[in-house]
Amino acid sequence: MERVKKILQVFLQLMHSYLAQKICIGTQCVVGPLPTSGPGKINNLADLVNRVVTFLIPLAAVILLFVFIWGGYDYIMSQGAPDKIKSAQAKFTTGIIGLVLLLLSYIVVRTISGIFGLGGGII
């Protein structure tokens, strides 16, 4: 248990160092690569989440589109074979579940950003 605690502590320190924009040790300071001024600035966790979410949600939508196209292609090419039709229907079901999860994640992010007063929201 002690070893797991130590590994977790090291991991959290590394993540903190990775996400930090400025690390100072003594008189030496290292500034991170993320912009801290201008239109794409990242000064706090909300800015970072905004940057990540605005990339991930459209990416998930594109992947979802390909899942639906793949399911449709499999359905057309099944030629009435019951096992292939069932496989295509499973892809459609997976796509619908993915769509619901994508919409729920969008709603949750908007709600949480509204609760914490992040202006117009994250997205």
**Closest listed residue to residue 16, CA positions, set 48, 54, 51:** 48
- 8 A C-beta contact, residue 51 and residue 40: yes
Q: What is the pLDDT of residue 118?
A: 66
Query: Does residue 113 carry a pLDDT above 90?
Result: no
- 8 A C-beta contact, residue 122 and residue 46: yes
Quote the radius of gyration of the chain (alpha carbons, Å). Answer: 22
Q: Please, which pLDDT band fits residue 91 given cuts at 50, 70 and 90?
A: very high
Query: Does residue 90 carry a pLDDT above 90?
Result: yes
The tokens for 61 are: 């939508």
H or E segment at 71? helix 45-77
Stated pTM of the model: 0.60
What is the tens place of the pLDDT at every residue in 21-75? 666 778 887 776 666 666 666 767 777 777 777 778 888 889 999 999 999 999 9
Burial of 75 (0-12, 13-18, 19+ CB in 10 A): middle
More confident residue, 77 or 115: 77
